[in-house]
Amino acid sequence: MNVPLPPTNGGCRSAPILKERGQREVFCGLTGIIWLHRKMQDAFFLVVGSRTCAHLLQSAAGVMIFAEPRFGTAILEEQDLAGMADAHVELDREVEKLLARRPDIRQLFLVGSCPSEVIKIDLARAAERLSQVHAPHVRVLNYSGSGIETTFTEGEDACLASMVPVLKDTKERELLVVGALPDVVEDQMVSLLTDMGIGPIRLLPARRIDDTTAVGENTVFALTQPFLGDTHAALERRGARHLAAPFPFGDEGTTAWLRAIAVEFGVSEETFEAVTAAPRARARKAIAQAAEALRGKSVFFFPDSQLEIPLARFLTRECGMTAVEVGSPYIHDALHGPDLDLLPAGPQISEGQDVDKQLARARAARPDLTVCGLGLANPLEAEGLSTKWAIELVFTPVHFYEQAGDLAGLFSRPLRRKAVLQMEAAE
């Protein structure tokens, strides 16, 4: 089974890339904890940071006062920052208290922040030391969620990459699906693959620490998120092989992603069509309904989540929009290449950000819809531009067939709202 994808009008893989380095408008990698702590139900994320870090997490998560989430902050005080206290001793004491209070914790992530990196606390050494103390009941790992030269989705990438070296070795031929998905979406994905006869299917991250998730030279892996560059590299170092494909957004992207796996595992075209025909039809119908407000409209992407390129592919090819500029914090050819192949030629492709220069281009273009971070949305709305918060696309279930209509709806709602407001103003 090897059905070619539709023509792409040249695609954008070889298009010139405008590379910018300047002032950025993004959240830091600590934000990833908000969805990771919900996904990994026996994990705890301990941020080694400041009160500002703690306030960010509390605000972003909307945590109720009577709930105890699976994350917290070991706050660095003035004496720590001044080098007047042994931060490692204090961290060991906080971990001891945490694990005594929460015996359900099986994985503990020590998460670096801007302050901990500035004063150079060696969290890797701390994680190794604490693992020896608390093994085998608790596995202690570390990664950086610092906002220094990173964007917010890199927090998940760093977290998953930290898990790869401790996965067990395997010689079995297995599929590893990588990237945190809402449970309902993950279940849909696993059901589709299982119905094709593909298995065993391993997940990274698993909902609970899973000794069956292993990796080796016979492992093939598929990414569900386009921001997992470090995890991709870590898996390849373990001998696993990446199945390159467009990301599973919309009908086209989901079908291409599933087909890449189906081809790898020898699924017949008849079986593939039998499994995917009904959900594909539902996805197409839902997209068509939601995309009525999008056809013929222009879209401009500020770099934020690294979802920009596959989402631009979805909006242009499945929703009838025209992309003016598609900016991404980083462009990774092995990950973004298949979507760039499908993205119709025409838009400016940019990597990195100089926010003042990009704002000038957006204001000159006056797109119908601008996808950007929270810090830019309100000023642009005040100037009459319709915006979509980029971070909402990470928090909301948008992958695979059953969510395709919802994905289109996230982009169409700002335009529908603007049209209603204009009608009301005219009355």
Q: Higher-confidence residue: 169 or 88? A: 169
Find the mean pLDDT for residues 250-264: 98
207 & 114 share domain: no
Q: Are residue 128 and residue 192 in the same domain, yes or no? A: no
pLDDT surpassing 70 at residue 425: no
Tell me, yes or no, whether 309 and 224 share the same domain.
no
Q: Is residue 129 part of a domain?
A: yes
pLDDT digits (tens, 9 = 90+) for 5-47: 444 456 999 999 999 988 877 778 888 998 999 899 999 999 9
**Taking residues 388-410, what's their average pLDDT?**
94
Residue 87, Cβ neighbours under 10 Å: how many? 22
Q: What is the C-alpha separation between 43 and 271, in angstroms, rounded?
A: 38
Are 320 and 400 found together in one domain? yes
Same domain, 195 and 305: no
Does residue 235 fall inside a structural domain?
Answer: yes
The tally of domains found in the chain comes to: 3
Domain final residue pick, 222, 252, 278:
278
272 and 345 assigned to the same domain? no
Q: Provide CB contacts within 8 A for 306, sequence distance 6+.
A: 151, 153, 226, 227, 328, 329, 330
User: For residue 7, is it within any domain?
Assistant: no
pLDDT at 84 over 70: no
Is residue 58 domain-resident? yes
Is residue 8 domain-resident?
Answer: no
Instruction: Decide: 317 and 344 in contact? Cβ < 8 Å.
Output: yes
> Is the same domain home to 65 and 191?
no
- The pLDDT value recorded for residue 64 is 47
pLDDT at 243 over 70: yes
**Of 230, 260, 278, which residue constitutes the final position of a domain?**
278
Confidence of residue 85 (pLDDT cuts 50, 70, 90): low
Mean pLDDT of the chain: 90
Res 424: pLDDT: 65
Please check whether residues 255 and 337 belong to one and the same domain.
Answer: no
Structure confidence by residue, pLDDT tens digits, 162-195: 999 999 999 999 999 999 999 999 999 999 999 9
**Are residue 296 and residue 404 in the same domain, yes or no?**
yes
pLDDT tens digit string along 104-127?
999 999 999 988 887 788 999 999
- Together in a domain, 136 and 270: no
Q: Which residues of 357-394 are buried (b: 16+ CB within 10 A; e: fewer)?
A: ebbebbeeeebbbbbbbeebbeebeeeebbbbbbbebb
Task: Please compute the mean of the pLDDT values over residues 381-399 and round it to a whole number.
Answer: 92
In a domain, 63, yes or no: yes
**Residue 257, in any domain of the structure:** yes
Q: Domain of 255: which CATH number? A: 3.40.50.1980
Question: What is the C-alpha separation between 8 and 13, in angstroms, rounded?
Answer: 11
Cβ count within 10 A of residue 177 = 19
301-333 pLDDT per residue, tens: 999 999 999 999 999 999 999 999 999 999 999
What mean pLDDT is predicted for residues 264-280? Answer: 98
Residue 65 has pLDDT above 60, yes or no: no
Range of lowest pLDDT (79-83, 230-234, 278-282): 79-83
In percent, how much of the chain has pLDDT > 70? 92
362 neighbors 370 (Cβ within 8 angstroms): yes
> Residue 303 sits in which domain range?
17-24+283-426
Using the 3D structure, point to which of 90, 115, 150 is the last residue of a domain.
Answer: 150
* Residue 166 CB-half CA count within 13 A: 21
Band of pLDDT at residue 2, cut at 50, 70 and 90:
very low
- Among 51-65, 85-99, 372-386, whose mean pLDDT is lowest? 51-65
Is it the case that residue 362 has pLDDT exceeding 80?
yes
How much is the pLDDT for 79?
56
